Amino acid sequence: MRILTLRSLLLAPVALGYVVNEGTTYQIYPEALTHNGQAVDDAPSIHQAFDLCGINGTVIFTNNTFHINSILNTTNLLNCNVSLRGELRFSTNTPYWKSHVYSVIYQNQSTAWLFGGINTWYTENKNQANQPGRPISITFYNSTNLLADGLTIFQPQFWATLVWQSTNVSLRNFYVNATSNDEWGTVNTDGYDSWRSSNLLVESATIINGDDCVAAKGNTTNLLVRHVTCHGSAGMTIGSIGQYPEWPDYVENVTFDGVRCINSSTGAYIKTWQGIPVDQDSNGDVGGGGLGLVKNVTFKNFEMINTSLPIQISQCMYSESSGACNTSKLQIEDVSWVNITGTSRYNVVASLYCSDPVPCPGIIFDNVTFESVNHTLGLPMWNTTMQDEVYQCANIDGQNSSGIPCNRVAPDSFGGVSHNVQ
């Protein structure tokens, strides 16, 4: 059957490697078809197809398994329509990925596929497979008017996607499943991250992972996230931000609407670094001391099932030292949690700690109702015998009219909270 396919390939009008074109439509076939199924790198064919795609072109990955043994850079596309019908299998050559991936500058992270351009459509019919190696699977970079429909990422090496320096980028029908198949958990497998980008949509997504489901990082503005289900995961987040003093982080106009979190650690939260830079934190990262503003964020219509810490503001993520949360000068304001319901794993619903120097105005709870998974009592917070549902607050401007039933003072270190909700 495959040989027949190849014969027809050879009869096609123009065959360039394993790229076959008709007009401005370029079909890519895997090298494995002529190499007895060996995992020969298909990246050169892919680059060739995108180089030829030009203006108003279409690139079709035929319904086959493609081996990606080297990095992909398909940027500066113009009116390009990409259809991934088969499967991309990223090689497991971890040393290669570590030394060759493209830098995305932020946090020294890197990516295996840099993808972007103006007016690009990316649709997928089957799936995309990755293996551990730790670059971001696909980075939508320097893109304007990009729609990715049906993107599916299994076993991302690291964060599944990053939208970077882009505007008008929509991901629809998006699926990520980072399920560890060994004894090691999946770490830092964020489903969707955005940085330095605006006018973004994430719609109809299912994300199974061990870290942020969707995270809006520095200079993300006008982001709408709706109809998303997160399994495991750390839910919906703004942050972490405030890591770099040289790059203040502005995050404005973000709405999360219609979210289900199942067995998540956190659900709907905002995390900033502490105000004093550290060389190394408990997360193995460096930073802190960054300024900026988080303004006009809405979390609405959430259902959370068995979430450890459903709602949180922390201004000293990763810091265990007492008082650290009081050092951040990154302002947070106008944040609403509306129609949020579900079950908390422990008897803690919310921990909201705004930094002393920049108390938070405009923090609103409207119709937030939780019940502990343990209806009779609530699993007591770790190492306590507390039995009621806890709402911890500190430095909330206008706390009495916020709608938050504050009944405890929030601890001024991140560890103070996390130790209580293990």
Ligand X SMILES: *[C@@H]1O[C@H](CO)[C@@H](O)[C@H](O)[C@H]1NC(C)=O
Interface with ligand X (CB under 6 A), residue from 67, 89, 196, 271? 196
**Contacts with ligand X: how many residues (CB under 6 A)?**
45
Query: SS3 for 236-292, per residue?
Result: EEEEEECCCCCCCEEEEEEEEEEEEEECCCEEEEEEECCCCCECCCCCCCCECCCCE
The C-alpha atoms of residue 346 and residue 416 are separated, in whole angstroms, by 15
Cis ω before 322 (30° cut-off from 0)? no
In this structure, the number of other CB atoms found within 10 A of the CB of residue 20 comes to 22
- Nearest approach, Cβ of residue 73 and ligand X (Å): 4
CB closer to ligand X, 48 vs 296 = 296
| Residue from the set 21, 45, 166, 177 that interacts with ligand X by CB under 6 A | 177
In whole angstroms, how close is the CB of 307 to ligand X at the nearest point?
A: 13
Active site residue 211: yes
Q: Which of 134/231 has CB closer to ligand X?
A: 231
- Determine if 25 is a binding residue for ligand X (CB under 6 A): no
Q: Which residues contact 419 (CB under 8 A, 6 or more apart)?
A: 382, 383
* Residue from the set 25, 34, 48, 79 that interacts with ligand X by CB under 6 A: 79
Contact set for ligand X, span 128-147 (CB under 6 A): 142
- 356 with 395: CB under 8 angstroms? yes
Distance CA 341, CA 210 (A): 22
Q: Which stretch binds ligand X (CB under 6 A): 215-223, 279-287, 314-322, 389-397?
A: 215-223
Q: What is the DSSP letter of 396?
A: B
- Amino acid found at 396: I
Which of residues 66, 90, 102, 391 is near ligand X by CB under 6 A? 102
Residue of 42, 190, 193, 211 marked active site: 211
69 lies in the site for ligand X, by CB under 6 A: no
Interaction between residue 367 and ligand X (CB under 6 A): yes
Determine which residue in the list 8, 14, 37, 63 makes contact with ligand X, applying CB under 6 A.
Answer: 63
Spatial CB neighbours of 83, under 8 Å, sequence gap ≥ 6: 58, 59, 60, 61, 123, 124, 125
Write the interaction track for ligand X spanning residues 313-342; mark x where CB under 6 A is met and - where it is not: --------------------------x-x-
- Cα separation, 292 vs 300, in Å, equals 24
Q: How many C-alpha atoms does 206 have within 13 Å on its Cβ side?
A: 5
Binding footprint of ligand X on the chain (CB under 6 A): 55-56, 63, 73, 75-76, 79, 85, 102, 114, 118, 125-126, 142, 177, 179, 196, 208, 218-219, 221-222, 231, 247-250, 252-255, 296, 301-303, 339, 341, 367, 369, 374, 376-377, 379-380, 383
Which residues are catalytic, by number?
211
